[in-house]
Structure 1
Amino acid sequence: MSTTGASKTLTPPDIAARKGNTPLVCLTAYTTPIARLVDPHCDVVLVGDSVGMVLHGLPSTLDVTLEMMIMHGQAVRRGLERALMVVDMPFGSYEEGPEQAFRNAARVMAETGCAAVKLEGGEAMAETIRFLAARGVPVMAHVGLTPQAVNIFGGYRVQGRGEDGERIRRDALAVAEADAFAVVLEKVPETLARRITGEIAIPTIGIGASPTCDGQVLVVDDMLGLFSDFRPKFVKRYAELGDAASSAITAYAHEVRERRFPAAEHVFGDVPATVKGGEAA
């Protein structure tokens, strides 16, 4: 259970107020069952556009649509009681300008019940963030490695090394000044993330950044070890569920082929013999 002790649904101001306090716990979720599992332990649950790669087998986040984000947002909403739900704005749904961003963000909020949206970009998105915040749309910003700009970066590379660190710092300052309530710092050097965290007034949420950030976020499938072929440096595997699932499926297939499953206890007789849990056995 998170240490905040709150039983009510958390809000963007609640998250903003955690600056410099107990670190924020954040994970992604894309389905109702996973949302129910993470909700008691997380302060923020992010319906990330990583869903395109994790659940839909897409090569990047660029093909994720607004409709996909809304569908998964609705599923996650049904599984949450306490955590703040944030939905990613997908590529192409906000970059055209503040009006487009507001129109699509308002739709996401109305159709999913989320309390905030997340969009990528720093200085270039400051005007849009300010526009949304002024119109009742809380925004979590995202700077550093922004996956929707992966083609610009030439891959999923660390951002902000050397002199390039000043660019990331300006981005973080810009989104904070534009009234974002928090900012994700992705795949940036530890010293830079530490400096930014100390300079801006809103919480920083790290992923491949620094333990001194005001919170941390991971893709839930990564930290659970559901994929054996994806092991980025910044992910700690808290379980190896992919291996466990593979072993279970292998055992199931073996038992079916040997006619060991279903066994007698898994089939129904012609006449109910007993009643277990209200169901005839």
Structure 2
Amino acid sequence: GLIVQIGPIESVISILEDNYMYLVIEEQSKQAVAVDPAVPHRLLEIVKREGLSLTAVLTTHHHWDHARGNEALVKEVPGLRVYGGDDRIGGLTDKVTNAQELKFNSINVRCLFTPCHTSGHMCYFVWEDECTDAPAVFTGDTLFIAGCGRFLEGTAEQMYHNLTQVLGSLPQDTKVFCGHEYTIKNLKFAMLVEPENEKARDDDDKPTVPSTLIEEFEYNPFLRLSEEGVQKFTGKTDPIEVLRVLRKEKDKFKKPKERPSPHAMLALEWGLLRP
């Protein structure tokens, strides 16, 4: 099974510069499933160039920087199914629920309900029949490389459940494909939290999409809630409280001299730009 990473998306819309969208391609049938295809024309160019047929769209959540391509794709591609867990998702044809499994020839998808960033957020765990490759999980704005999404419509309790029970319990070699390229900023925060953690500081070896779950447990502070350094930084020991404080600190965390444009400020108010 081939996963094509598209992004960070070069687009006239500067807000989309750090978005990732993905194509999961079944090599035999040339069928493809897209994840969060926010820039539809770019996706269709690739589909056409590679001689693929686009059969489905998996949407992690309703924010426009993930779902804005859906309506255009439904118009362009006859019979296209659009899956998601939230009625607010544009172009939705099939509403999915937690643990529901979808099958596209040899590609299997398990829907994982991860409410918090939005109340209807879904992650998608993907594996292929008879394939020895590690499985993949598309985490949208729930889990990032070295970070996690903002709690826009949910609580620390929910995010704790998402990160530990839902995503944290997947096979450790699972490849993590997230919704944005926020790695550098996330690692800067990770180093502030755990200055003695070598893994977060390894400049020559910056993690990129995809990382794996096992790697995330080595440097992502949001998955390291019972580590002494993380507890010390937050002044808490209860993992949910540790997570709550971490996220508050991350919300305040700014690189020095970072002045967003008025355009970006507008997006920030809509909760679209930052993790």
Larger relative contact order, structure 1 or 2 (CA cutoff 8 Å, min sep 6): 1
**Normalization by structure 2: what TM-score?**
0.30
Q: Which has the higher helix share?
A: 1
Larger Rg: 1
Q: Which has the higher strand share?
A: 2
